[in-house]
Structure 1
C-alpha cells in the first residue's frame, strides 16, 4: 500500500461494497481480524482484504497507509479490549494482577493476532491509555519513578511474552498441540528414577502443571518481589 491516507472526514465510500456494506475503518478492522483468526498472518494482505470486503483493494488506501499500519491498529484494538471493564480497586497488587491477566487473556483467546501483534508498540490511543494506567498504579503505590518505570517494563514484557508463548501453542494444529501435551505422559512418565530422580519424584505434579500456562504464578512472583522492594 502507498502512504496516502485520506483525512477522516473524506473517507466515507459513497457506494456500498458488493456485500452491501458501506466501507469504513471499523468494517476493515473487523474483516482483517476475522481473516487473521481464520487463516493466520498470510491473510493480512490488500488483495485478500479487498476480496473479503467486496471492494477494490485500492480503496483501503483511504483508511490505512499500508498493511503494517492496519496491523498496528489491530494491535491497539486488542490493548483496548484488555482494558474494557477494568475498574481500579485501590489495591495496587490486585489491580496489576487484574490488568496482567486481562492482557494475557485477550491475546491467548486470539492466538493468530497475538503472533502478529503482541511484540509491537503502537503509540496509539489504547496503548497510551494502558501505559498511563499502569504507571499510575505503580506511582500511586509509592514506587519512586525510576523503580515504577522498570517495574512497568518488566510487568508488560512478562505479560506479552507469556501471551506470545501461550498463543503460539494455541495456534498449533490440533494434532500437533495434542502430541506436545502427550509428551509429558508418554516420555517423562517413563523416565526411571535411577537416571532422572527429580523428574520421577515430581512427575504427577509436573505433568498436571504443564497443561496450563505458567503466567499466573510468574505474575504473582513478580508482584510479591515488587511488594518486598516497596516495603524495603
Structure 2
C-alpha cells in the first residue's frame, strides 16, 4: 500500500521543495507534506524532528547546489562576489526558498561549504583573525537580506506583480506635492523595488566589500 511505503530522505526533501514552490514557510506544514506523499506525519518525524529542521534541510540543498563545481578564482573580493552571485542564481530558480533561507538559514553540508569559503576569502584579505568572525557575520546578514528580498519579489505571481506596479504608480505619481514635495519632485524617476534588482544587488555588495577593504590594516 502507498501509505506503507518507506520514503527516502531525498524523496521527502524533493516533495517538500516542490510544495514550497507554490507556498511559503508559514503555510507549509509536515502534515501537508505527509498528505502529498500519501503517508502520515509520524513517518516523516523519523527523518526530521520538526518543521524547522526539515526547512533547513530543504534550503541546504539549494546552497549545496550553488557550491557544486565551485572553484575559487581571483582575489578575496572576487571570490566573495562570485559566491554571492552563485547563491543568488541558485535561489532565483526556487525563489520561495530564498525567504526560507533568510529566516531559517541551514546547518548542513552546503552551509558549511559556504561558510568555509567565505572565511577563507576573508582570511586572505589581510583582516586580523580576531576581526574575521564579526565581519563574516555582517556579510552573511547582508547576503541573506538581499537574496531574501530578491526571492520575495521573484516569487510574486504575475497578476500580483502588475497589481503592485499599478499601486506603486498611483502612490508615487499621485502624491500630493505639498505634503510630499521630494517624492513629487522625483516621482517620474523613482523605480519600484522589483526594478533593476541585479544591478542593485551587485552595487550594494560591492559597497560592503569596499568598506571591508578599508578595515584591512
Please classify the TM superposition score into its range, dividing by the shorter chain length.
Answer: 0.7 to 0.9
Residue equivalent to 2:210: 224
Residue equivalent to 2:20: 36
Q: How far has the Cα of 1:197 moved from its partner?
A: 5.8
Pair 1:187 & 2:171 matched: yes
- Structure 1 CA distance, aligned partners of 2:40 and 2:180? 61
CA gap 1:87/1:201 in 2 versus in 1, 3 angstroms: farther
Residue equivalent to 2:195: 211
Greater Cα shift, 191-200 or 53-62: 191-200
- Structure 1 CA distance, aligned partners of 2:86 and 2:173? 34
Tell me how large the CA RMSD over aligned residues is.
Answer: 2.9
Aligned residues: 215
Task: Provide the TM-score with structure 1 as the length reference.
Answer: 0.77
- Structure 1 CA distance, aligned partners of 2:66 and 2:189? 31
CA gap 1:210/1:46 in 2 versus in 1, 3 angstroms: closer
Greater Cα shift, 193-202 or 102-111: 193-202
CA gap 1:38/1:192 in 2 versus in 1, 3 angstroms: closer
Question: Which stretches in structure 1 are left out of the alignment for 5+ residues?
Answer: 1-16
Q: How far has the Cα of 1:185 moved from its partner?
A: 3.4
SS of residue in 2 equivalent to 1:156: helix
The higher-RCO structure (CA 8 Å, 6+ apart) is: 2
- Structure 1 CA distance, aligned partners of 2:73 and 2:14? 32
- Structure 1 CA distance, aligned partners of 2:23 and 2:121? 38
CA gap 1:203/1:109 in 2 versus in 1, 3 angstroms: farther
Pair 1:176 & 2:152 matched: no
Task: Provide the TM-score with structure 2 as the length reference.
Answer: 0.82
Residue equivalent to 2:115: 131
- Larger C-alpha radius of gyration, 1 or 2? 1
CA gap 1:65/1:210 in 2 versus in 1, 3 angstroms: closer
CA gap 1:139/1:180 in 2 versus in 1, 3 angstroms: same
1:107–1:118 Cα contact (<8 Å) kept: no
Question: Which stretches in structure 2 are left out of the alignment for 5+ residues?
Answer: none
